[in-house]
Structures are given as structure tokens and as C-alpha cells.
């Protein structure tokens, strides 16, 4: 998949801040009104990380998902040769 196939927010390093903009109100007690899609996405993130949060409220789900996403999305992707199957010279 080419990098251009990803949404701009994911490829530009904006994914984590964009998600925080949607969900961080849950942590401050603002009780933001989440769309059905945002609620579904939040639960999907919890399932992707194998977090047993089926009965937790949205704030608790986001609290735990946020920690995991921050670890995954806030650091740059590893692109050195050690993570490739073969060096670029051999691939050509």
C-alpha cells in the first residue's frame, strides 16, 4: 500500500492529536456528545488492543486506549534496513 493511500492525518503524524481532539473531553468531565461512528471507533480501538472494557464507560475506555495509542502513534515508524526483509540494493 502506498503512503498516499493513508489519510493525511495518519501519514502526517497528526493521527494521535486528531483523536485526542475528539475524545479528550471525556477525560475532563465535559461529557462531549460523540457521534455513533466515534463511539463505535472507540470500542473498536479497545478491541484491537485486547482491552477487556465491554462494560466500562466511554471515559475509562478512552483513558486506556489513549495510553496505547500514544505509545504507537506518537513515535516515528521504524524505517531502517534492520526492519526490512531485504536491503534495497538486493531488492532491485
* Burial class of residue 54 in the structure, from the number of CB atoms within 10 Å of its CB (0-12 exposed, 13-18 middle, 19+ buried): exposed
Cα 56 from Cα 89, distance rounded (Å): 50
**Residue 81 clears pLDDT 80, i.e. is over it:** no
Identify which has the larger pLDDT, 77 or 68: 68
* Torsion angle in degrees (nearest 10) through CA of 38, 44, 50, 55: 60
pLDDT in tens, 18-71: 999 999 999 988 778 899 999 999 999 999 999 888 888 899 999 999 999 888
What the block records as the C-alpha cell of 86 is: 531485504
**Residue 1 clears pLDDT 70, i.e. is over it:** no
Amino acid at each position: 500500500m502506498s503512503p498516499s493511500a493513508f489519510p493525511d492525518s495518519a501519514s502526517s503524524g497528526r493521527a494521535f492529536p486528531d483523536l485526542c481532539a475528539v475524545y479528550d473531553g471525556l477525560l475532563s468531565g465535559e461529557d462531549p456528545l460523540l457521534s455513533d461512528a466515534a463511539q463505535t471507533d472507540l470500542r473498536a480501538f479497545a478491541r484491537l488492543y485486547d482491552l477487556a472494557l465491554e462494560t466500562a464507560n466511554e471515559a475509562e475506555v478512552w483513558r486506556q486506549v489513549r495510553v496505547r495509542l500514544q505509545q504507537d502513534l506518537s513515535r516515528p515508524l521504524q524505517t531502517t534496513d534492520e526492519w526490512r526483509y531485504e536491503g534495497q540494493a538486493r531488492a532491485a
